[in-house]
């Protein structure tokens, strides 16, 4: 494919499925335009809708210890959600998935947040031997979205906690202002248990007896029977990442960690080194492109950012690489062999994605109110 870059954002042909219109604008920008029409409610309308949602959550939570669930990673989005919910007078139960990859800054941010906001937190610790085996299986499968073992477990733990405690609302930090433009080629399969299980069956070495997981049937049950609701609350605010970070630094003593999702050592190494080196794409391109479309940075600033190294420093890169190998039990040769494997994709492994039942079930899950 001949190299091309979007004339509006900075997405380019490192996404193998990218398309450009006659103006040179990519499909991600066009999809963003449609997404904000459907899912972003800003200004006075956003304030009114947000007030209605908060009232509804409080009403459903009467007589219960908690009225909603939130996740907390120590990153800016989840921390800002926690901060705002307390300001709104909600009583969230905080969940944190401890997958043994938290940076020290993440741990400090989490501790400061729950302490200063007087929140109760449950640290959900994974069975490390199983989780490590699944992470290694994804590396051996040579697919790009190496975050799926973490992301799938997080969702499963939320559903379980909501069911056990009778909580109807999960408040997410996902948002259109900073997290659109993600190519399917870079990230697919987070909820597809058949895909995850197929990779582990091929490349894993021990049974996944305690790994938190969910099937499509589970998702439909949570949605239609238990009536669990996921609310992307930042989509009802005029959410600006830099302003949010300044607020958290001032109010909570929160610290920035050098890049989107870099609060995790694993994620920092995967996004900052493995993806650009092995797969030829840099997730900063997606993150910055979204900020361009939401008006938070200009295109020239984004292009200048892309000229910098994705890693904050060479010293940190070498330290993270050492930790990555040691925690996963990889010799230098084994590590090099993994990164030298031919690149694969979601399409190369069994999954539910192509079945009509899965597509119908996903539509029900995403659209049923």
Structure tokens at 121: 């937190």
How many domains does the chain contain in total?
1
Give the whole-angstrom CA distance, residue 291 versus residue 286. Answer: 9
* 107 inside domain: yes
* 248 inside domain: yes
Give the CATH number of the domain where residue 84 resides.
Answer: 3.40.50.620
Looking at residue 239, what is its pLDDT? 93
Structure tokens at 219: 């998702």
* 4 inside domain: no
Compute the average pLDDT of residues 95-118: 97
Looking at residue 86, what is its pLDDT? 97
CA distances from 363 to 65, 154, 366 (A): 33, 21, 5
Strand pairing category for 68-71 and 229-232: unpaired
Q: Which domain holds residue 72?
A: 27-367
- How many other C-beta atoms are found inside a 10 Å radius of the C-beta of residue 300? 10
Cross-strand partners of 9: none
Compute the average pLDDT of residues 13-27: 97
What totals of helices (H) and strands (E) does the chain contain, helices first?
A: 15, 5
Confidence of residue 366 (pLDDT cuts 50, 70, 90): low
Compute the average pLDDT of residues 99-121: 97
Please spell the DSSP secondary structure of 338-353, one letter per residue: HHHSPP--GGGS--ST
Looking at residue 216, what is its pLDDT? 85
Strand pairing category for 120-125 and 169-172: unpaired
* 12 inside domain: no
* 2 inside domain: no
Structure tokens at 128: 């490390």
CA distances from 63 to 48, 84, 93, 167 (A): 25, 22, 15, 11
Compute the average pLDDT of residues 153-161: 94
CA distances from 27 to 4, 164, 187, 281, 284 (A): 13, 41, 16, 17, 18
Rounded to two decimals, what is the model's pTM?
A: 0.93
């Amino acid at each position: 494919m001949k190299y091309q870059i979007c004339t509006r954002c900075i997405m380019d042909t490192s996404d193998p499925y990218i398309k450009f219109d006659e103006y040179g604008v990519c499909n991600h920008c066009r999809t963003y335009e449609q997404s904000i029409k459907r899912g972003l409610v800003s200004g006075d309308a956003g304030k009114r809708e947000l007030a209605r949602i908060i009232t509804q959550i409080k009403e459903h939570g009467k007589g219960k210890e908690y009225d909603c669930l939130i996740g907390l990673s120590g990153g800016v989005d989840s921390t800002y959600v926690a901060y705002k919910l307390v300001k709104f007078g909600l009583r969230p139960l905080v969940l944190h998935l401890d997958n043994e990859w938290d940076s020290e800054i993440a741990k400090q941010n989490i501790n400061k947040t729950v302490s200063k906001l007087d929140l109760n937190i449950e640290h959900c610790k994974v069975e490390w031997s199983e989780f490590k085996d699944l992470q290694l299986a994804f590396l051996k499968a040579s697919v790009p979205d190496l975050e799926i073992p973490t992301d799938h477990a997080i969702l499963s733990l939320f559903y379980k906690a909501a069911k056990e405690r009778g909580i109807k609302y999960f408040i997410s930090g996902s948002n259109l202002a900073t997290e659109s433009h993600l190519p399917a080629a870079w990230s697919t399969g987070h909820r597809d248990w058949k895909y995850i299980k197929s990779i582990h069956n091929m490349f894993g070495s021990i049974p996944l007896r305690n790994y938190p997981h969910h099937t499509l049937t589970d998702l439909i049950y949570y949605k239609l029977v238990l009536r669990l609701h996921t609310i992307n609350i930042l989509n009802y605010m005029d959410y600006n990442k830099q302003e949010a970070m300044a607020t958290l630094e001032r109010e909570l003593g929160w610290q920035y960690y050098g890049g989107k999702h870099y609060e995790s050592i694993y994620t920092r190494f995967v996004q900052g080194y493995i993806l650009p080196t092995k797969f030829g794409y840099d997730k900063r391109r997606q993150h910055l492109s979204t900020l361009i479309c939401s008006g938070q940075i200009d295109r020239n600033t984004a292009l200048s950012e892309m000229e910098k190294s994705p890693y904050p420093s060479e010293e940190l890169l070498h330290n993270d690489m050492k930790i990555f190998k040691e925690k996963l039990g990889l010799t230098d040769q084994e590590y090099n062999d993994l990164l030298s494997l031919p690149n694969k994709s979601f399409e190369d492994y069994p999954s539910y994605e192509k079945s009509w039942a899965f597509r119908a079930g996903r539509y029900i899950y995403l659209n049923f109110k």
